[in-house]
Amino acid sequence: MRLAEIEPELTEASLPAHVAALLAQSRQLVAKLEKQAHADFAAFVPSDFELVYRALVSIQSRRLTTGRRFVEWGSGLGVITCLAEWVGFDAVGIEIEPRLVNMAQVLAAEHHVGAQFVCGSFIPAGANVRLERLADIAWLSTDGPDAYTELELDADDFDLVFAYPWPGEEQVIFDLFADCAAVGTLLLTYHGQDGIRLQRKVRG
């Protein structure tokens, strides 16, 4: 199996009012959390929500996915998961930090988003990722509950996965995705100043 690159082709359309409102509130929450992140959270760094939203719109409009199930690995405040739900996916966010899960659920409820958030590890039991590579990466924890058990789904049941790996740690996410995703599944990743990447798991 390998990952094949796909050009994201971002939409340039104006943001809908409800999306703009969610992003405005999320920026306020991020600003508050950044003041306390070092004390309360391990490695809380938000992605570029608008950029990812535009990528999600493009993916959906081009019908690139094999189905509608979306999962965000490490969903934080849940903004991307909410945006995916609005775009038309059945969206789930998996987050190891309980307080962030609670904040995501509140944010989704305030904006009338039906996305689901689960507290636990997005690394499925039995994943073949080398555990010694995970030991020094704070945001890649296998200590929490198995999120997939609560969801009553397997890691290969999703059609689109979003993740924000830290610089230098991208290959761990790529390896995990290659190991546990179904053939045909898309992986959308955010890479800071390098923007986003879109890849599909293919045979060969």
CATH classification of the domain holding 94: 3.40.50.150
Contact 124, 155 (CB under 8 A): yes
Query: For residue 160, what are the β-bridge partners?
Result: 70, 186
User: What is the 8-class DSSP label of residue 168?
Assistant: T
Global pTM reads: 0.91
The total of structural domains in the chain comes to 1
How many residues are there in the chain?
204
Position 198 scores a pLDDT of 98
3-state secondary structure of 124: coil
Position 46 scores a pLDDT of 84
User: What is the 8-class DSSP label of residue 65?
Assistant: S
What is the dihedral angle through the alpha carbons of 147, 150, 156, 158, rounded to the nearest 10 degrees?
-90
The tokens for 155 are 């890691």
pLDDT at 35 over 80: no
The tokens for 130 are 């080398």
Residue ranges making up the domain that contains 144: 2-202
Position 48 scores a pLDDT of 95
